[in-house]
Structure 1
Amino acid sequence: MHALRKWLLSGLLVIVPLFITLAVLKWIIDTLDQTLWVLPASWQVWLAEHNVRGLGVLLTLAILLVVGAVASNFIGKRLLGWGDAVVRRIPVVRSIYSSVKQVSDTLFSENGNAFRTAVLVQWPRENVWTIAFVTGAPGGEVMGHLGGEEYLSVYVPTTPNPTGGYFVMLKRSDCIELKMSVDEALKYIVSMGVVAPSATALPATR
């Protein structure tokens, strides 16, 4: 019975991640295949009759590349600037668009520093430790209220879903910078500590 239980658990450890990965990929492909509505109706009918899958992924990538190429030249930048100014004049859309754009610019910018460093912090109370990510440094009016010490803006993710979490501002002296990569830290968080980082990823000195 012990051997059967061991084999069953080993099989689950192999099948479950593979099944979830395939299910997620299928969902992504099915979702992106909905972009095929931009094609002529006759093409859509032909693709549906022949059950062609995955073309939506290629179409989405092509659209992103074309938009990126246009946005990278002088005329494209002028058009985007004009469109951005128009959207920012719409009362309700303005606040949503500005917030989303600021976050996306921070996360996807080549010069951005978001989620570049993993740190060890005491959270939610003293002597309870967790891994967080440095997103920047406080500024403006907030910094004026924090005193003379140097602070860091830190994102503390939840487990096992790191897309939810808390934004806090901590003293730099209270944050221990880790040598592990962001990917290793995310795996450690998502796995609830099961997938430990490599032995070489030891905490850096303060």
Structure 2
Amino acid sequence: MKRYFLTGIVVLIPVVITIWVIRLVVTTLDQSFDILPIEWRPETLVGSHIPGLGVVAALLIIILTGAIATNLLGRKLLDMLDEVLGKIPLVKSIYTGVKQVSDTLFSSSGQAFRQVLLVRYPHQEVWTIAFQTGVPTLSIAQQLNEPHVNVYVPTTPNPTSGFFLMVPKRHTIELDMSVDMALKYIISMGVVDPATHAKTSPQSTHQPN
């Protein structure tokens, strides 16, 4: 009986959590219609609530925005929007910060979260997985006596929280592992085998004191 119970738990937990997350996303996106006047909302026009309509609308808006932003007129409109929002004191701080982060993370030319590393954390006798997010700014790099890299060390099992560190590059090991696989490895607390190997490099063979 105990074995059946534990097996059932192992099978049902991923299913239940997946359904809960999908339901949460769909419900949240469906609420996006709440910004419209009551007479314009789908349930008023159609006569009933249509689950998932907000998801479809959100996808269409994202695709349409991307299509507009890729042409010359769209880029000019975005530049105008940046200029207008950049003149509003409180909005400027929020918008500029979020835009810089999103540009860094989602830009095709960016390097953020494109390299999985092994770093020594929280002390020299322990290794953990981290994601390279870039390199220190010039003002910081000038204060350091050797090349460093910016890394994000996620927590387990919630990788959305973690620590930002600047680590000597020679104290890191580059892993031949995708970001998706690294996240699965972190979330599973090491249960999921990434089935990968570290790249052979001078850094990987170095053992810092």
* Distance of 1:162 and 1:42 partners within structure 2: 36
**Is 1:59 aligned with 2:40?**
no
Measured on the aligned residues, the alpha-carbon RMSD in Å equals 1.6
What SS does the corresponding residue of 2:142 show, helix, strand or coil? helix
Structure 1 contact 137–151 (Cα < 8 Å) conserved: yes
Structure 1 contact 156–166 (Cα < 8 Å) conserved: yes
Query: 1:204 pairs with 180, 185, 199, which one?
Result: 199
> 1:139-158 counterparts in 2 under 5 A?
139-147=137-145, 149-158=146-155
Length-normalised TM-score, structure 1: 0.91
**Is 1:24 aligned with 2:21?**
yes
* Distance of 1:21 and 1:175 partners within structure 2: 34
Q: Tell me the equivalent position of 2:5.
A: 8
Task: Count matched residues.
Answer: 199
Structure 2 contact 42–49 (Cα < 8 Å) conserved: no
Percent identity between the two aligned chains: 46
* Distance of 2:129 and 2:160 partners within structure 1: 14
Structure 1 contact 36–44 (Cα < 8 Å) conserved: no
Q: Tell me the equivalent position of 1:123.
A: 121
Amino acid at match of 1:106: T
What SS does the corresponding residue of 1:145 show, helix, strand or coil? coil
* Distance of 2:42 and 2:193 partners within structure 1: 49
* Distance of 2:50 and 2:41 partners within structure 1: 14
Length-normalised TM-score, structure 2: 0.89
Q: Spell out structure 1 runs of 4+ moving beyond 6 A.
A: none
Q: Report the CA distance between 1:35 and its aligned residue.
A: 2.4
Query: 2:183 pairs with 183, 186, 199, which one?
Result: 186
What SS does the corresponding residue of 2:164 show, helix, strand or coil? strand
Structure 2 contact 148–169 (Cα < 8 Å) conserved: yes
**Is 1:106 aligned with 2:101?**
no
Deviations along 1:109-140, one digit per CA (max 9) or x if unpaired, are 11111111111111011111110011111122
Structure 1 contact 153–170 (Cα < 8 Å) conserved: yes
Amino acid at match of 1:53: P
**Is 1:91 aligned with 2:95?**
no
Deviations along 1:37-76, one digit per CA (max 9) or x if unpaired, are 44853742254x4442111111111111111111111111
Structure 1 contact 36–59 (Cα < 8 Å) conserved: no
What SS does the corresponding residue of 1:89 show, helix, strand or coil? coil
What SS does the corresponding residue of 2:165 show, helix, strand or coil? strand
